Amino acid sequence: MTTIAPIAPVGVLLREWRNRRRRSQLDLAADAEVSTRHLSFVETGRSKPSRELLLHLAEHLDVPLRDRNSLLLAAGYAPEHRETPLDDEAMAPVRAALRTILTGHEPFPALILDRHSCLVMANGPLLALMSEGIAPELLEPPINVLRVSLHPEGLAPRIANLAEWGTHLLTRLHRQAILTGDAELIRLRDELLGYPGVGGVTEGHDPASMLFVPLRLRSADGTLLSFFSTVATFGTAVDITLAELAIETFFPADAATEAFLRSDALRGSTTGE
């Protein structure tokens, strides 16, 4: 089982998650069908929550599985969710399924990321696009895809709409950092904001507006390619590793890009095991 050392009392952690979700005690108590008084007592440490209540509140607050374990540990309970390494023998069916997803998307690019946007797996077309002209140190594992994308020695010089695409990525990263309170995501966001020409974070954005921001990327031969992407996660996962994976698939945004990709201009093999 995952071992996570709590850094604060369970009531403090619970209140932090409630505040991150911008929920009042009254709102959360009504939604979770518990008394506001009891919720207040839990948050102030006057009452110890049961295991069932903690999991119930975590569900209503959409707390990630890793952090649900932290809540349980802070309250003196055993963790609920396992974290199985992806290379574990038990995860062989999962790895096979992920490879099928990636290869099935070819000849269009696709990749799988962990919670910090580090590369887990990618198909051939994505690797061909991402490896052209990139500083070798950026491709040393673990490969952070956001860093590779926006670094001036990464893909940035080949992105025709760098400010627009950078703002899209940074706004998405900022939202993840705020929703999770993950210190590593906050550090990554601050690092990327210091890169030249990448735009910035758009506060108060409409999440739907991020769905169709194009990526306009020049290939090694100078061909201007245009993509839009979608991100999928495993919403029903009970293992932390699987719950924290994200599958990003890229689609051609115009006929010329589709023709380029279907011409076998990008070759490679799925990797990441």
- pLDDT at res. 202: 83
Domain that holds residue 68: 10-74
Residue 271 lies in a domain: no
* Contact status, residue 56 vs residue 32, Cβ threshold 8 Å: yes
- Does 273 fall in a domain? no
How many domains are contained in the chain?
2
43 with 137, same domain: the answer is: no
Asked if 27 and 125 sit in the same domain, the reply is no
Among 120, 210, 197, smallest CA distance to 151 is for 197
Q: How far apart are CA 112 and CA 231, in angstroms?
A: 9
Question: pLDDT tens digit string along 127-144?
Answer: 998 888 899 999 999 999
Residue 94 CA to its chain's centroid (Å)? 18
Q: Among 31, 47, 74, where does a domain finish?
A: 74
For the chain, the farthest-separated pair of C-alpha atoms sits apart, in whole angstroms, at 66
CB atoms under 10 Å from CB of 256, counted, come to 13
157 shares a domain with 102 = yes
Q: Are residues 132 and 106 in the same domain?
A: yes
268 found inside a domain: no
Report the b/e string of 119-147 with b at 16+ CB within 10 A. Answer: bbbbbbbbbbbbbeebeeebeeeebbbbb
Q: Are residues 47 and 176 in the same domain?
A: no
Q: Specify whether 172 is located in the same domain as 51.
A: no
What are the tens digits of pLDDT across the range 227-237?
A: 999 999 987 77
pLDDT tier for residue 207 given thresholds of 50, 70 and 90: low
pLDDT digits (tens, 9 = 90+) for 245-270: 999 999 999 999 999 999 976 765 56
Q: Is 14 contained in some domain?
A: yes
- CATH code: domain of residue 229: 3.30.450.180
In terms of domains, do 14 and 66 share one? yes
Does residue 84 belong to any structural domain of this protein? no
User: Within a domain: residue 2?
Assistant: no
pLDDT score recorded for residue 4: 47
Mean pLDDT of 165-176: 95
DSSP 8-class letter at 9: -
140 and 31 part of one domain: no
Q: Is 152 helix (H, G, I), strand (E, B) or coil?
A: coil
56 and 120 within one domain: no
Q: Calculate ∠ Cα 31-179-47, nearest 5°.
A: 50
- Looking at the fold, whether 164 and 115 belong to one and the same domain comes out as yes
In this structure, which amino acid lies at residue 114? D
Structure confidence by residue, pLDDT tens digits, 56-87: 999 999 999 999 999 999 999 999 999 999 99
Last residue of a domain, one of 20, 51, 74: 74
31 and 106 both lie in a single domain = no
Shared domain check, 219 and 117: yes
Reference 148, options 166, 134, 160; nearest CA is 134
Q: Which two tokens stand for residue 15?
A: 């209140």
Give the type of residue at 115: R
Residue 204 in this model has a pLDDT that exceeds 70: no
Q: What is the pLDDT of residues 17-57, one digit of tens each?
A: 999 999 999 999 999 999 999 999 999 999 999 999 999 99
CA-to-CA distance for 156 and 5, rounded, in angstroms? 38
Q: Please, what is the average pLDDT of the chain?
A: 91
Closest CA to 106 of 272, 273, 264, 271: 264
Q: Are 173 and 117 in contact (CB under 8 A)?
A: yes
> Is 269 part of any domain?
no
Q: What is the CATH number of the domain that holds 32?
A: 1.10.260.40
Last residue of one domain, picked from the residues 74, 102, 124: 74
Residue 131: what pLDDT? 81
Question: Is 130 part of any domain?
Answer: yes
